Structure 1
Amino acid sequence: MTAETVPAAKEAPQPRKSSWKRTALIGLSRYGTIIGLLLMVLFFSINAPGVFLSRANFLNILSQASLTAIIASGLTYTLVVGEFDLSIGYVASFVGLIVTGLMAYEGFPIWLSIVCALALGSGIGVLNGLLVTKVRINAVISTLGIGTMLTGIGFTYSAFPIATGIPRAFTGISLGRIVFGLPNPVIIMVVMLLALWTVLNKTDIGQKMQAVGSNMEAARLSGIRVDRIKIFAFATAGFCAALTGTLLSSLLGSGTLAAADGYLLDAFAAVFLGSATLREGEFHITGTLVGVLILAVGFNGLSIFGAPTHFQPIFKGGILVLAVGMSALARRYAASA
């Protein structure tokens, strides 16, 4: 047999790249934000142990995180179903103005004013859902338009902050400490997060929400009423925004137009930070809580070290880009490793 007729030897299979590298990258993509949070806590604990590690400061961090966590958890629902809600900050501000106006101007009792405020927020959420699902307006356009309209309506209702005629018991809602010495907003935050987590992960409607967000057409073909699911998500976001606005007005002791507008960016930053936590690019309540804590700990640490207030938006935007960017890169390299 000549050399020309000898069969060519098969190429030896290339050795697979080390599995430890792939494991490390996957771990970074899933736990990078948690690691970042722990490193922040460690850094502030070492450099300001007497202040940062105190019980009072710990409660302060939780109090700062509570309202953001509530409004961000509602936003999480709309993102789970694949939609955006840019009205949540406006809804919180508007409802905060209305709830105080109902008490100061209309003479409503506290409980009725709060019920009306929460119903109003839920109704605005339903309206957003109807515009998106039935009228087929893009969610970004419709929710931004509704939010802008609320600003004008609120200004028409009261061009000035409502600070008189508000019962002292209303301010006690946010300033009181009923359970274990914890601020009431923290207790409300825990209850809301547990409820929303349970609905999203342990109920039929929660499974349908995740199915709609994963593949809307497949969900529709499987018999899921996609429009109803999306409307429910928007209504939940509206309810959480209304609750945030009510608690903020209670904390401030007044109803002020645009007081809660800043929560919009905070909520989005927290939710997208959370999407880089534990799961690869999925929105979920646990991740949202981690994102909120990252922001709260960062803001608290900056305050302790006397950083100017304009550092807060720089930190907020920078940590969002860094965390999500590192997570995306880690997933990409893990997939190719």
Structure 2
Amino acid sequence: MNATLTKEKAVTGPEITDRHRRRRLFLVLLSRYGTLVGLAAMIVVFSIRSPTTFLTLPNFLNILNQSSLTAIIAAGLTMTLVVGEFDLSIGYVASFAGLLVVGFIARDSLPVLIGVPLVLLIGAAIGTTSGFLVTKVRINAVIATLGVGTILTGVGFAYSAFPIAAGVPAEFIQISLGKLLVGIPNPIIIMIVVLAILWIILNRTDLGQKMQAVGGNIEAARLSGIRVDRVKIFAFATAGVCAALTGILLSSLLGSGTLAAADGYLLDAFAAVFLGSATLRDGEFHIVGTLVGVLIIAVGFNGLSIFGAPTFFQPIFKGAILVLAVGLSTLARRYAKA
């Protein structure tokens, strides 16, 4: 009898090991490619259900155009998350920048070629201020950026308590509504350029390697001679510029400057970035993943709109897909390492 038990153990032992290895491989693949599979599945389902509406080039361009502003502001947020910090001011910065640029151009009669770069510089200055408060004054990033955003709301009301719509030149409106290359809307081109620049910075420059080192292990980065504070301030400044650019494009699209118009981009950006962290890498923030996260949300919204779903389904979809994707990714990584 003992010999029989020993023989059974010898047989079942390798089988258990192989089963564990297969499960581990499956969970690793799920953690890295689950969001891509989900995006592809949505595209297939929507294409089958509505091939003449969803599966068309104009609709795909529409999806990219609608997601371009979210992608830009989310890419800036990605930079701060890469270095291990949060920036809750980006929505406020975008709203403030949108109001400011229209005020400069329409009310103060500044040329578009001066007003737009000036507001981008102001966005960089706001981000730098947040970075300074976090790194030098040692204020928690959540508190510092939330405080900066609240201050911007007050300053915006002081600048103009009412929307600015009169006197907006067509030249400014064409920034978002114009098309430069073979019918591709300008926001898509701007999005591609911004994401390409940030990807190169993060993956092909010494500064990008330092940013990833700071986010990976701040003490080891400091001991290796990296100027951690400067790296973090650069990340916050980049987020400020991207947020300001988003606000400018939104105001150009709306044809007016309205305070709080871009506040909703905060949640969209965080949802996209955290969805993206579950793509291709094990919980790491990166630009390609952020773009995938943005597209998942945009494709979902587009499909729901085509099928006539009520508007309240959009926030439900956004929250549910964020929780599901990140939750599955976290569980997959946990069991894959077991």
The alignment partner of 1:243 has SS state of helix
Deviations 1:210-244 (A, max 9, x none): 00000001000000000000000000000000000
Please point out which of 202, 219, 227 is paired with 1:225: 227
Q: How does 1:147-296 map to 2 (within 5 A)?
A: 147-296=149-298
The alignment partner of 2:256 has SS state of coil
The alignment partner of 1:49 has SS state of coil
Q: How does 1:58-137 map to 2 (within 5 A)?
A: 58-137=60-139
* Counterpart in the other structure of 2:5: none
- 1:289, 1:256 → 2: CA distance? 27
**TM-score calculated relative to the size of structure 2:** 0.95
Q: CA deviation at 1:156?
A: 1.0
- 2:127, 2:280 → 1: CA distance? 29
- 1:45, 1:143 → 2: CA distance? 41
Please point out which of 296, 299, 306 is paired with 1:297: 299
Q: What RMSD in Å do the two structures reach over aligned CA positions?
A: 1.1
Counterpart amino acid of 1:84? F
Counterpart amino acid of 2:204? K
Q: Which runs of 5+ in 1 are unaligned?
A: 1-10
Q: CA deviation at 1:307?
A: 1.1
The alignment partner of 1:178 has SS state of strand
Counterpart amino acid of 1:233? A
The alignment partner of 1:50 has SS state of coil
- 2:268, 2:248 → 1: CA distance? 18
**TM-score calculated relative to the size of structure 1:** 0.95
Q: CA deviation at 1:276?
A: 0.3
Deviations 1:78-104 (A, max 9, x none): 000000000000000000000000011
Sequence identity (%) = 71
- 1:328, 1:165 → 2: CA distance? 51
- 1:95, 1:332 → 2: CA distance? 42
The alignment covers a number of residue pairs equal to 326
- 1:77, 1:180 → 2: CA distance? 31
Please point out which of 16, 25, 29 is paired with 1:27: 29
* Counterpart in the other structure of 1:48: 50
- 1:156, 1:310 → 2: CA distance? 33
Q: CA deviation at 1:17?
A: 3.6
Deviations 1:128-170 (A, max 9, x none): 0000000000000000011011111101111111101111110
Q: Which runs of 5+ in 2 are unaligned?
A: 1-8
